[in-house]
Amino acid sequence: MPSQVISDRYELVQRLGHGGMGDVWRGYDTVLDRQVAVKLVRQEAVASPAVAEEFARRFRREARVTARIQHPGVPQVYDAVLDASYERLYLVMELVDGVPLAYCIDPDLPLPVSWAAAVAAQVCTVLSHAHEVPVVHRDLKPGNILVANDGTVKVLDFGIAAMLRTDTTRITATGSPVGTSRYMSPEQVQGGKVTPQSDLYALGCVLHELLCGRYLFEGTEYQLMHQHLQAAPTPLRHLREDVPEALEELVLHLLRKRPERRPADTQEVYERLLPFLPPPGGTPAPDEAGPAGIPDPTNVYRRPYAPRSRPAARSASPAPTLVLPPEQPAEAPAPARLREDIKEARAHAQALLEEERFAQAAEVLDEVIEPAALALGPDSKDVLGLRMRRAAARFLGGDYRRALPEFDALADAFARTSGRASEEARSCRAQAAHCRAELGQVTVALREFEAVLQQVRAVESDVSEEAVELRRAIGFLLLSENRPAEARQVLEPLHADMCLVYGPDDEETAEIADALALIRLTGDETPRGTPGV
């Protein structure tokens, strides 16, 4: 059969796999003369021309963020295209030869402890880089983890789950649960905010399965979701006696129901796995032999291999304020020329934003902000407007770590120039809270949203657009904190208000109705009598 050609460039040579999201093919890049992997996403995802354009924008945005993960454990993204007919959506990626981790799991032959620890530790190194971007995998499971021929662990499908969300396309939307039921964190079951701690919960499910060869929970999809919310995991040593106690404790820690009660980050998990990894230069013991035909994932630890160092807490520091020097330089641009430069930079940045070239838009604004601040003053209306555009470009591009300190600094600047309760200051504080939520700082984000909402209520209606957005964000963040009863107290009156003002068929009204239905389905309360969960 003749090879199918995608975008006049990529030949589909051999189908390698078939999954819930689509098919994976071994392909050939005719331009660069190399083999590639091509992931074709199911056509149902773009079934309607009415949603195809928005879906394409979301797909490209997520693919670009995913492509920023620079780590050997993540296959590189080469291309992301929705073709002109809207019939074919595909990712072109690095082709990796290896064995899916799912093939390594056998209840009659559980993996050696060192193998399971080596796989989990390598996944930690990958997640440490992804969470720094930040990108949350959302669907970590054995089927998305591959052991390459040299023993290197590869984590596949970063961003695919996010690309295929069926929620609203607004940046701050949380939407329906995304993931695989067997590995889905409680906050995903509740439809709440997905954070790096959600990936840690899934890693706990995977590590449990590697060590005992059995799923964490069994049952129908509804039963699995209910168990993730309420059932206590079976301690590993009840299923396999030779599992070290400290490793059992780590798995139980990863599987805590509340995100904030899980390990702080992947670095902590990696460090707790170190005692179970082989020493540098060591050779495998007789009892460390794994399944036949499976590459040994401990090989990379015979030569030390660790995740990147934990980054400094940059988000805690506001962006530096631009101040005028003691003397103005003689070559400072004249105001007329400067204002023309500002006008051109705004137009250029806007054109780039419309093409979703967010990083470039921020760079264009960078070039004019400093000279504008020197000439006009750091708190001038023009300078603050340019900084707002730059922060928004970074936010839209998923660069939340750089957008956050900018929004914090802008909130302070607008508080000085327009008043702490001004619309501009409130908007910047709310955007900073959205950044913190995206970075996993959910508790702080929730507190900031509530503070801004109190300011809004003092000057506007509780059903103003600003108040509705804040109430909605609070409700979904409460869900992400596994506090469904409190979320229901926020979302039920919000739903009633939105039905009156916008109607029950409004897209956001329906979204909140779906979240409330899920809360009622899974139960309002976290179970009592399970301390530490």
Expressed in angstroms, the distance from the first to the final Cα of the chain is: 55
Burial class of residue 208, CB neighbours in 10 A (0-12, 13-18, 19+): buried
- DSSP H or E stretch at residue 350: helix 335-354
List the one residue out of 233, 189, 181, 227 whose CA is nearest residue 207. Answer: 233
Q: Which strands, in side-by-side order, build the sheet including 10-18?
A: 4-6, 10-18, 22-29, 34-41, 89-93, 77-82
List the one residue out of 371, 369, 471 whose CA is nearest residue 410. Answer: 369
Lookup: tokens for 174: 């949380």
Catalogue the long-range contacts made by 450-458 (C-beta closer than 8 Å, 24 or more residues apart).
Answer: 450/474, 452/426, 455/420, 455/421, 455/426, 456/426, 458/421
Calpha distance 421→432 (Å, rounded): 15
Phi, psi of 54 (to 5 degrees): -65, -40
Task: Decide if 242 is catalytic.
Answer: no
Question: Which residue among 23, 83, 97, 139 is the active-site one?
Answer: 139
CB 199 within 8 Å of CB 128: no
Burial class of residue 239, CB neighbours in 10 A (0-12, 13-18, 19+): middle
Question: Catalytic residue numbers?
Answer: 139
